[in-house]
Amino acid sequence: RNGSGKSNFFDAIQFVLVAPKFNLLRQEERQQLLHEGAGANVMTAFVEIVFDNSDGRMTVDADEVVLRRTIGLKKDEFFLNRKRVTKSEVVSLLESAGFSKSNPYYIVQQGKVNALCLMRDNERLQLLKEVAGTRVYEERREESLKIMDETNSKRDKIQEVVTYIEERLEELEGEKEELKQYQQLDRDKRALEYTIYDKELRKAREQIDELEAQRAEDAMQIHELYERTRKVQDEAATGRHELQTAEDELAKLSRNRASIERERREVIKVRAKLEVDVKEMEEQVANDEETQATLQTEAQALDVRIAETRKLLEEELLPRYGETKQAKDTLEAKHSQTELQMNELLAKQARGTRFSTMAQRDKFLREQLDSLGKAVVAKKTAIGKLETRIGEMEAQRIEIGEAIASKEQEIKDRQVSQAKLSETITSKTGERHELAEERKRRWADKQNADDLVAKWKEDLQSNERDFRSSMPRHIAQGLEAVRRIVHEEGIRGFHGALYENFQLRNNKYRTPVEVAAGNALFHVVVEDDDVAARLIKRLAAENLGRVTFMPLKQLSVQAVEYPQSSEVFSLMETALTFEPRMRKAMQQVFGKKLLARNFEVAQQFSREANMDAITLDGDEVNRKGALEGGYHDDRKSPLRAYLGVLEAREELDKARKHQEDLQAKTMEVDQAVSHLMSSIQKDEAKRANLKHVASQDAQDLKLMNEDAARLAEKIANSREKLPGLVTEQGGLEAQAESYSAEIGTPLKSTLSSSETEQLEMLRTQARELEDQLEEATATFDGAASQKQTLQALLKDNLLKRREDIEEKLSSEHGGLAGGIEVQERIEQLATRRSELAQASRDADSVLARLQELDEKVQEQTALVKATEEKLEELKAAEAADQEALAEAEKLTEKQLNKRSMLVQKREENLKKIQQLGSLPAAELDAHASFSVKELMKKLHKVNQALTKYSHVNKKALDQYVNFSEQREALIDRKRELDEGATSIQELVNALDRQKDEAILRTFKGVSKHFAEVFKELVPQGSGQLLMRTSADREEEEDGSEDAGRGRAAAQGMRVNDFEGVQVRVSFTPTGEVYLMSQLSGGQKALVALSLIFAIQRCDPAPFYLFDELDQALDSTYRAAVASMIQRLANSDSPTQFITTTFRPELVKVASKCYGISLQVKNSSIHSVSKSYALGFVADLMNEEAAVAGMAPASAAKKKPASTRAEEVAREEEEEEEEEEEQEEDENQAPKNKRQSKARSSSASGKKQKRG
């Protein structure tokens, strides 16, 4: 919908393609482009377009070209395939791909079609010129005309100067004669002056040579004195360093001795404690052994007694108990059987009196038989359950036995594991002691390494202080600040100070290099001016010191030719090595510096080569003749201090690396000790766990044995119950048999004789069995009592005591007094003895180290004393040498002052000779034999003669020659300007012709394509473009109706004669031809679109973007436009079209459809189906129809293809056009007839369209 942001989509594409409206943006315009949406403010944004480059249209080696433009508040950035490029490169790439700035109609936004509709003829002509690219020709023509004006101005000025020079040459012609006489006297004067100056120059040189010879002798003596002083100073410095080293070593030894003394006291303390522990543990182990021996003796006695008791129980008492029990059970069974039979007979007798009939008795007997049957079944069930229970208990006893055997094996295995762990712990404890000793040694080595690092740190700080003191304070502050700034800001292109970028080939070149460079040694080398400006800004803002920068890219050095001699060499090439990129910086400082063998050679070649010459001793003769020299204090040498800094840094790095290595090795040992301690702790924990588990296993074994004993007792008791149950079952079965036999017998109140005899016999037998049972019971009770007594003795006394002793002797259970096991105490005793031996060795080692350290302390003390005495002697020698040097320096200063005066005199004479210039040798030889005094008299006479020619123009001849040369040069220059003016005029004419050809060619192409496009859109119509010229306007004024029929192209008229491009169209084969102003709004839009497509065909672009180009068209023309776009998109050379529309015709031919929506102030684009797009468009058209429905129904029926709003707009446009035509009628009276005809045609066309 409108307002969703689709126009922003076109703006975004134009933004990337550098359209004119987005070419130069002000800050407020940039701020407007940074859309904030619903979130926080943004500082930057970008638009990215991906081009399909499979056809190679763009000059980029890739199938896809990604072009991105990023916008910020101050600047834009362009990226091509993720690489940064400039805007000009992007514009060139787009131009080469067909995105022409002169033809912007590959993107047609809202309003552009309307603008074309309202264009006048002259505006369409300007558009045609832009498409033809005439702007380039016009710009070049303007430049050429501007150059032509400048050339004419120069020609006029040259002519004025030539006229003045010719007048001046006439004046100079008369002054030449007097000038010749004057010149002869002047030559004599200069010859005399030259001879005088030459004699004084030679005299000065002779005096300088004599002075140099004397100075050389003095210099040798001073040099020897300096060398001796330097040697004494070096020895003193070495002595001070040795003294400091010795004192540091002595302090270190003292610290080490105190540390070792503390270690000795600690070791002795540990040894004393271990000795006490070992003694106590030996006593405990002896007590444990004595107690174990007693327990073992008692255990042996108990084992014998237990064996005897078990033998007595198993061989005598248990068999006898079994026999008596069996006899007793047999008698009880017989007695029970007898009693049962007796009771049956008595019951039978009672039933004879109890029942009156046999049937009653039999019924009672059958009931009894049922009860007895149930009782027998119950007894059998009880017997079966008891036997099953006995079987289960037997199986359970077997399982418990197997578990007991397994538990006993586990206990034995744990005993073996515990023994192995104890051995491992003992071994690891020994390793721990060894590693502890190794750690002590590593700590000592690390302490030595720490001391060495501290020493080199101190040396480095000392050398750095010396180095800073060798340069001016502001330079030192500046260098430190520059390095800090570079580090803080991460600045690239910083190469450090000059002294950091070269190395000396030999240390002997240090002095001449320092003299040659001076403070330039501390100049900072950077890559370019940008780096220097950035650093200078910070230094100035924060007042951080002053330094001089040398930007390599801006340094301009000239090639230097060095003298080809074995006496002098290039200081830069001889003394220095450096990277090739630093050559400019080195040439800037050392390029014109020579290294001479001695002072005389330096003087000679400094003058001849115009370079500064320096000797190895540091004496310098600069190119101007000034001398610098004297003694150079080596202690103040910046390069020596810098080399000391480098050496100290190198040694410090080595010491730190060694320190780090020792630290790593110490950490390895510490980790090994920690790992070993952890392993020992784990093993001890495992051993403790094994002890705990073994104790639990023993307790479990004891419980399992008790369970087995109880189970055996239950089995025995169950087996004893079984015979009684069997007997009871037999009695019940016998009684049942008796009842069964009685059923059916006659009922009698008394027993039969046989039954009576049987009853009496049973009574007698019962009495006998009772007596036998009583005797068997007494025997059984005695055997049972003896068995129980022995079992109680064995179980509650002997075996329990044996278990107690076994627990006390076992290495797996709680041990003797204090709960410490004997075996563990023995192991601890062995460990303590090992620790005691190690402590004794440590004490002996510490004592030996202490004695060795005492000897070293004595040696260092003696060394310190000897070094202090030597330093005192060196101080006295240095004081004497310094006094001698002071006297020698005074003498040298006097000689240098005198030499400086002579050199100044020599240079003055030499300069005067040079100013005189070259003279003939004959004139010089004529005055060579005279003395200086005589020459001065002659010079005085010549000067008096020259006074007569004071009015002579001394430059007349030179001026005459110069003016003549200037006149010739100006005449040649004027000739060149004349030729240039002719060439420029030819170029202007050629540009005019090319512009005319381009416009005519473009007009022909656009006109041709316009007719074709209009024919495609309106098959029944026709259209043409006509070029209007000034001749057409004259004909119109004359009233001709055939004016403007395109004669311009045919007659070859000039572009300046063109006044506009006229559009004439017809919508029917025989209809009237209309001008643009006579068309309705929709027809104008159609003609404008035809013109746009015609321009595009003349200058095709890779793709086209149209924003609601069908807005003002009716359905028929929209379908025609859509059909044409579809043909172009699917032709042999397809073109991509991207359009926005609210009408269905373009949607129907589209290959892809997208929707644009606005949510939370953000526009988003998403793909939609064609059916969805058509439905959306239909809904919009229905809404428009609903709005239009508010108008009269008749009007709606007449205009089904357009809305009421469009009709109102068209009527307003028609009214405006009619008003414009009326104004034209009033202003152009001769045209009334034709204008009336045009209005009539326009009205007719409008009526036809309404129809």
Q: How far apart are CA 464 and CA 700, in angstroms?
A: 80
Question: Are 414 and 690 in contact, with CB atoms under 8 Å apart?
Answer: yes
**Is pLDDT at 51 greater than 60 in this prediction?**
yes
- Judge whether 1209 and 1081 are in contact, CB under 8 Å: yes
Strand order in the sheet with 549-551: 494-497, 524-526, 549-551
Cβ atoms 697, 410 nearer than 8 A = yes
**Token code pair at residue 297:** 């003796």
SS3 1100: coil
Q: What are phi and psi of 456, to 5 degrees?
A: -70, -30
Query: Residue 1192: its pLDDT value, please?
Result: 47
User: The sheet that has 1022-1029: what strands, in order across it?
Assistant: 1022-1029, 1058-1066, 1074-1075
Q: For 83-187, list the strands marked E by DSSP.
A: 83-85, 107-108
60: helix, strand or coil: coil
Instruction: Identify the residue with better confidence: 734 or 77.
Output: 77
| Contact (Cβ atoms closer than 8 angstroms) between residue 563 and residue 608 | yes
Measured CA to CA, the distance from residue 23 to residue 27 in angstroms comes to 13
The pair of structure tokens assigned to 407 is: 């538990």
Residue 668 has pLDDT above 80, yes or no: yes
Q: Could you tell me the two tokens for 152?
A: 């004419």
> Which comes out higher in pLDDT, residue 1201 or 365?
365
Report the Cα 591 to chain-centroid distance in Å.
44
Query: For residue 735, is pLDDT > 70?
Result: yes
- Cα separation of 11 and 16, whole Å? 9
Q: DSSP character for 562?
A: P
**What is the per-residue pLDDT across 959-1013, written as a single tens digit (0 to 9) for each?**
666 777 777 887 887 778 787 777 777 777 776 777 677 777 777 877 887 788 8
Identify the pLDDT of residue 1240: 29
Distance CA 779, CA 327 (A): 10
What strands lie across the sheet with 612-615, from one edge to the other?
Answer: 568-570, 593-596, 612-615, 620-621, 627-628
Entry pTM:
0.39
Alpha-carbon distance 517 to 572, whole Å?
11
pLDDT of residue 810: 60
Average per-residue pLDDT for the chain: 77
Residue 188: closest CA among 952, 928, 923: 923
Yes or no: say if 587 and 560 are a contact pair by the CB < 8 Å rule. yes
Q: Which helix (H) or strand (E) holds 856?
A: helix 822-916
pLDDT band at 1214 (very low <50, low <70, confident <90, very high): low
Give me the percent of the chain exceeding a pLDDT of 90: 1
Q: How many CB atoms lie within 10 A of CB 1073?
A: 14
Q: What is the pLDDT of residue 1208?
A: 38
Q: Angle 1138-1163-1153 (CA atoms, 0-180°, nearest 5)?
A: 35
Q: Which of 220-224, 857-861, 1057-1061, 1223-1227 has the lowest mean pLDDT?
A: 1223-1227
User: Distances from the Cα of 983 to the Cαs of 407, 987, 992, 1003, in angstroms?
Assistant: 123, 6, 14, 30
Quick one: which H or E segment has residue 1155?
Answer: strand 1153-1159
Cα–Cα distance for residue pair 742/348, rounded to 1 Å: 8
Half-sphere exposure of 632 (CA within 13 A, CB side): 22
Q: What six digits make up the tokens of 775?
A: 């005797």
The pLDDT of residue 1035 is: 60
Spatial CB neighbours of 355, under 8 Å, sequence gap ≥ 6: 361, 364, 747
Q: Which residue has the tokens 């750690």?
A: 439
pLDDT band per the 50, 70, 90 thresholds, residue 1079: confident
Query: What is the share, in percent, of the chain residues with pLDDT greater than 70?
Result: 83
Q: Which residues pair with 47 in a beta bridge?
A: 69
Residue 635 has pLDDT above 80, yes or no: no
Q: What is the pLDDT of residues 1117-1127, one digit of tens each?
A: 788 888 888 88
Least confident of 156-160, 172-176, 327-331, 978-982: 172-176
Spell out the alpha helix ranges (H) of 470-526. Answer: 473-489, 510-517
Cα–Cα distance for residue pair 1109/110, rounded to 1 Å: 7
Query: pLDDT band at 525, cuts 50/70/90?
Result: very high
How far is it, in rounded angstroms, from Cα 195 to Cα 923?
10
Q: Which residue has the tokens 């400082």?
A: 589
Q: Work out the average pLDDT over 26-43.
A: 68
Q: Would you state the pLDDT for residue 814? A: 42
Angle at 97 between CA 93 and CA 98, to 5 degrees: 120
What secondary structure, in 3-state letters, does 992-1049 show? HHHHHHHHHHHHHHHHHHHHHHHHHHCCCCEEEEEEEEHHHHHHHHHCCCCCCCCHHH
Q: What's the CA gap between 168 and 1191, in Å, rounded?
A: 97
pLDDT (tens digit per residue) in 861-897: 888 888 888 888 878 887 887 787 777 777 777 877 7
Pair of tokens at residue 463: 């050398």
Q: How far is residue 305's CA from residue 1078's CA, in Å, rounded to a whole number?
A: 147
Q: Is the pLDDT of residue 1234 over 50?
A: no
pLDDT of residue 1222: 47
List the structure tokens of 1162: 């953000």
H/E element, 661: helix 638-742
H-helix or E-strand spanning residue 549? strand 549-551
As a whole number of angstroms, the distance between CA 648 and CA 467 comes to: 12
Q: Are 900 and 283 in contact (CB under 8 A)?
A: no
Q: What share of the chain is helix, strand, coil (3-state, %, to 5)?
A: 75, 10, 15
CB-based burial, 1084-1093: b 16+ in 10 Å, e otherwise: bbbbbbbbbb
Distances (CA, A) of 253 to 438, 679, 849, 867, 1136: 21, 38, 11, 18, 91
Q: Which long-range contacts (CB under 8 A, 24 or more apart) does 358-361 make?
A: 358/745, 358/746, 358/747, 361/742, 361/747
Element (H, E) at 1157: strand 1153-1159
Instruction: Kindly report the number of other CB atoms within 10 A of residue 194's CB atom.
Output: 20
1205 versus 573: the higher-pLDDT residue is 573
So what's the pLDDT on residue 1225? 46
Place of tokens 């890219």: 553
Q: What pLDDT sits at residue 949?
A: 66
Tell me if 1014 sits within 8 A of 1083, measured CB to CB.
no
What would you report as the CA-atom Rg of the chain, rounded to the nearest whole angstrom? 66
Which residues contact residue 189 at a Cβ distance below 8 angstroms, ignoring those fewer than 6 apart? 939, 942, 943, 946
Residue 1198 has pLDDT above 70, yes or no: no
Task: Check pLDDT > 80 for residue 1169.
Answer: yes
Q: Are 356 and 674 in contact (CB under 8 A)?
A: no
